[in-house]
Amino acid sequence: MRRTDFAYELPPTLIAQEPRERGRSRMMVVTPQTAAEPRIEHVSFVDFPERLARGDVLVINDTRVIPARLFAKPKPGMSRPIEILLTRRMTQELSVPEIWEAWCKPAKRVKVGDELIFSDTLRARVLAKNEGTITLAFESEKDIDAEIEHIGIPPLPPYIARESPRDEDRSAYQTVYAAERGAIAAPTAGLHFTPEILDRIAARGVEIVRITLHIGIGTFKPVKVDDIAEHVMDEERYEISSDAAASLNRALDEHRTIVAVGTTSVRTLESAIRAGDGRFVVGRAATSIFITPGFDFRAVDKLLTNFHLPESTLLMLVSAFAGIETIRRAYAEAIGHQYFFYSYGDCMFLNGRGTW
C-alpha cells in the first residue's frame, strides 16, 4: 500500500490547540457494518461507560510522560538556548543510569565533548553524535530525575503552537491514571478519562486492566517511504504485570470483549499475545510492531482512539482495525461535524473490527 492511501485534508482550525475538558469531549461511535455504510453516531465521551458491557475488559496504558524538553544555555556566539528532547534512557544498554539519547537543535553547533548547562545543578556531557540524535551523560549534585521533572517542559507535539510553555500542560498532557515514568508523548486517548468516569465503568462490572508502553521517538517520525511496507518502526518498551496477564488470559478463555484505550494499548496487546503464541506473557519487552491493513488482530476487539495525522502510522493502525473505507468515511464526517483533531482533540470509539 502507498503512503498517500492515508492522506486527507484537514482545515487547520480543527487542530485542537487547547485541552478538552476531561470527560466532556465529543465522541464519534463507529460501528463497522459494510465498508461503504458504517453506522456512525455522535455523542459525548461522558456516555462512554454505557457503551461497555458487564464482563468487558478495558485496557489502559499507565505510562507517565516525562517533561522531556530541556533548554541548555547558549554556547558563545549563539543567541538562543540549545533545545534538547530526551528520547530514550540508555540505562539497560550501557549499565549507566544517567545516559540518554536525545534530539538536539541546533545539532550542528554541538560537538562531542561539549558540556551543556541546564541549570545551576544539572549539566550533561555530549558523548556521541549519531544519525539524527546525540548521546548525553547527565551529572548533578541532586537527584537527576527530580531535576529533569523540575526544569523540563512537557514535549507537546509541534502542531500545538505555544509561544511559551504553560504550567497547565504538565497536568493536561497526562492521563489521570499515569503512573510509570518513561514516555515522551501522552497516550492521548486516555486524556478524556476522569476518576469519576473510571468509577462508573468499574461499577458496570467492567474489568480495568493496566499495562505500560513508554511512547518513544517513533511517535514523532513521519512515514517518508512511498511503499509503507518499507517503513521501520522504532522500538518502544512495554511491560505486562502478572495480574494484568492473568486478567487478559481469563478474558481470552471466557471469550470476553477486550477494549483497548489508544493505539499504544493495541500495539502492546498485539505484541504480547504474539510473544506468548496466543497467550499474554508476563514481563518487560520491546516492540517495533507496525500494524497496517491486512493485520491479523488476535487480542483487541474494540478501540477508543483520537483522530490522527494524515499518512501517520497511527492512522494506518486504525484503518487496519476498522477498515480503510470505514475510516475515510468517519474522518470525512468528523471534519464535516467540526470535531477537533489530534492530541488535545475529540475521540472516536471503534465499536468492533471491520474489513479493509
Query: Domain for residue 263, yes or no?
Result: yes
283-287 vs 236-240, strand pairing mode: antiparallel
**Across residues 74-85, what is the average pLDDT?**
89
- Specify whether 182 is located in the same domain as 313: yes
pLDDT at 97 over 60: no
Q: What percent of the chain has pLDDT over 70?
A: 97
The pLDDT assigned to 25 comes to 97
Contact 166, 73 (CB under 8 A): no
Query: Domain for residue 228, yes or no?
Result: yes
Provide Rg for the chain, Cα atoms: 21
List the Cα angle 86/234/319 in 5-degree steps: 120
Query: Domain for residue 129, yes or no?
Result: yes
The pLDDT assigned to 245 comes to 98
pLDDT at 88 over 90: no
- Specify whether 103 is located in the same domain as 234: no
d(CA 237, CA 329): 33
Query: Domain for residue 164, yes or no?
Result: no
d(CA 139, CA 147): 10
List the Cα angle 89/212/318 in 5-degree steps: 105
**Across residues 46-70, what is the average pLDDT?**
97
Alpha-helix residue ranges (DSSP H) falling in 95-175: 144-151, 169-172
Contact 107, 85 (CB under 8 A): no
Contact 233, 271 (CB under 8 A): no
Beta strands in the chain (DSSP E): 26-31, 39-44, 57-61, 63-65, 69-72, 82-89, 99-105, 115-117, 122-129, 134-140, 180-183, 207-213, 236-240, 258-261, 283-287, 302-306, 347-350
The pLDDT assigned to 221 comes to 82
pLDDT digits (tens, 9 = 90+) for 101-126: 999 999 888 999 999 999 999 999 99
Query: Domain for residue 12, yes or no?
Result: yes
d(CA 66, CA 43): 32
Of residues 108 and 94, more confidently modeled: 108
- Specify whether 134 is located in the same domain as 176: no
pLDDT digits (tens, 9 = 90+) for 255-265: 999 999 999 99
- Specify whether 344 is located in the same domain as 302: yes
**DSSP category for residue 191:** G
**Across residues 336-355, what is the average pLDDT?**
96
- Specify whether 116 is located in the same domain as 185: no
**3-class secondary-structure state, position 128:** strand
Contact 218, 205 (CB under 8 A): no
The amino acid occupying position 235 is: E
Please report, for the domain that includes residue 86, its CATH number. Answer: 2.40.10.240
The amino acid occupying position 254 is: E
Query: Domain for residue 120, yes or no?
Result: yes
Contact 309, 343 (CB under 8 A): no
Query: Domain for residue 180, yes or no?
Result: yes
pLDDT at 349 over 80: yes
* Domains held by the chain: number: 2
Please report, for the domain that includes residue 279, its CATH number. Answer: 3.40.1780.10
Contact 240, 89 (CB under 8 A): no
Select from 156, 140, 223, 203 the least CA-distant residue to 15.
156
Least confident of 75-84, 183-192, 247-256, 329-338: 75-84
List the Cα angle 72/172/195 in 5-degree steps: 140
- Specify whether 37 is located in the same domain as 78: no
- Specify whether 177 is located in the same domain as 291: yes
Backbone angles phi, psi at 339, to 5 degrees: -70, 155
d(CA 175, CA 22): 10
- Specify whether 237 is located in the same domain as 295: yes
pLDDT at 355 over 80: no
Single out the residue in 151, 178, 204 at which a domain terminates.
151
Contact 65, 173 (CB under 8 A): yes
Query: Domain for residue 255, yes or no?
Result: yes
- Specify whether 296 is located in the same domain as 273: yes
The pLDDT assigned to 91 comes to 66
* Side-chain half-sphere CA neighbours of 128 within 13 A: 9
- Specify whether 205 is located in the same domain as 142: no
Least confident of 13-27, 48-62, 78-92, 111-125: 78-92
The pLDDT assigned to 94 comes to 47
Select from 230, 258, 228, 224 the least CA-distant residue to 244.
258
- Specify whether 32 is located in the same domain as 145: no
Select from 295, 265, 294 the least CA-distant residue to 280.
265
Indicate the burial class of 144 (C-beta count within 10 angstroms; 0-12, 13-18, 19 or more): middle
Containing structural domain, residue 61: 3-65+170-350
Neighbours of 92 (CB within 10 A): 10
- Specify whether 321 is located in the same domain as 221: yes
The amino acid occupying position 198 is: L
